[in-house]
Structure 1
């Protein structure tokens, strides 16, 4: 059964199933190994592209308060909130046994929405990120990140590996 809030919501039962399944699925060792490999692939592409173009710069922080604040803040938002929306809510959960065509449709559609979301976010709610969120290198890296997180989610059936990768 699912909460009363979802009863009158179109597709509420599917959404509730996706949320519960994604939150409660504990990734096994193989899922974490896959996610580590995917993160490695992302790193091998993102760092040379980022540093090679000058998009990524190193700024060493000496304050542990700042470091912990950035890590904690990044875990909550964007990692948890974006993965909940762009992976868990938009994509069929592995237990739904979606067809390959449906997986491609939702995977590519979700990826496009994930990419477009960033410039729209900068233009509306987060204008301080405007210069970054419209930069072509950022959008390329966001697309790659979105694809990696989608694969990790589908492989594990869990919210947690994509959150860690993000």
Structure 2
């Protein structure tokens, strides 16, 4: 565990320590297997529910190779890296902190609720009126399940990189193979779409 020198503001020390610990916890073969297991566990629940309710549809996104590569990179940064840094690393105690299970579960619950509510806000602010469905109860159930799986993976490993890769893989499957591209194609920022688009 990396140790941070003390500042005058304890919360700054805590956040800095969590960031350093999570970034420094690299990947290993056992973690890779855990990540594959987490993706499989997520898929075993999410795919039947999503397909049966009609939220997930078998639909491939038609994009050029260059656009695909750039969009995949963008989705690695946001949502995967940004959301995992906020909802797992900053809100959850790193395993090296040695907090009690009860306290960890309390923070895990706070993190999970915040993660789900964030998607509602994202739908209302960024995708307002575009039909992205991020406020759809079916999406929120899938997002909540993903948040739970990611929280468990972070609890077991303390690795930002593992949860980022799991999150990224799930997003890519949804966007490019299960109808996410069509749902997210029209973000609204104020009255016009952002210059970067999708």
The residue number in structure 1 matching 2:190 is: none
Which structure carries more helix by proportion?
1
Q: How far does the alpha carbon of each residue in 1:107-142 deviate from its partner, in whole angstroms, 9 at most, with x for none?
A: 011101110111112223443666411111100010
Q: How does 1:55-74 map to 2 (within 5 A)?
A: 55-57=55-57, 58-74=59-75
Distance 2:130 2:157 in 1: 31
Structure 1: tracts of 5 or more residues without a match: none
Aligned length: 164
Q: CA deviation at 1:66?
A: 2.6
CA offsets, 1:15-37, max 9 Å, x none?
Answer: 11100010111122222211210
Q: Which runs of structure 2 are paired with 1:75-154 in the superposition (5 Å)? A: 75-127=76-128, 131-154=132-155
Q: Is the 8 A contact 1:27 1:156 kept in 2?
A: no
- 1:31, 1:155 within 8 Å by CA — same for their partners in 2? no
CA distance in 2, matches of 1:148, 1:33: 14
Q: State the TM-score, normalized to the length of structure 1.
A: 0.90
The CA RMSD measured in Å over matched residues stands at 2.0
**Conserved 8 A contact 1:84-1:159:** yes
User: Which stretch shifts more, 109-118 or 56-65?
Assistant: 56-65
| Separation of aligned partners in 2, 1:131 and 1:27 | 33
Aligned to 1:19: 19
Partners of 1:119 and 1:130 within 8 A in 2: no
CA distance in 2, matches of 1:129, 1:81: 23
Shift of 1:10: 4.3
User: CA offset at residue 50 of structure 1?
Assistant: 1.6
Query: What is the CA-CA distance between 1:8 and the residue it aligns to?
Result: 4.5
Name the SS of the counterpart of 1:105 in structure 2: helix
Higher relative contact order (CA closer than 8 Å, sequence separation 6+)? 1
Moved over 3 A (4+): 6-10, 128-131
Aligned residue in 1 for 2:158: 157
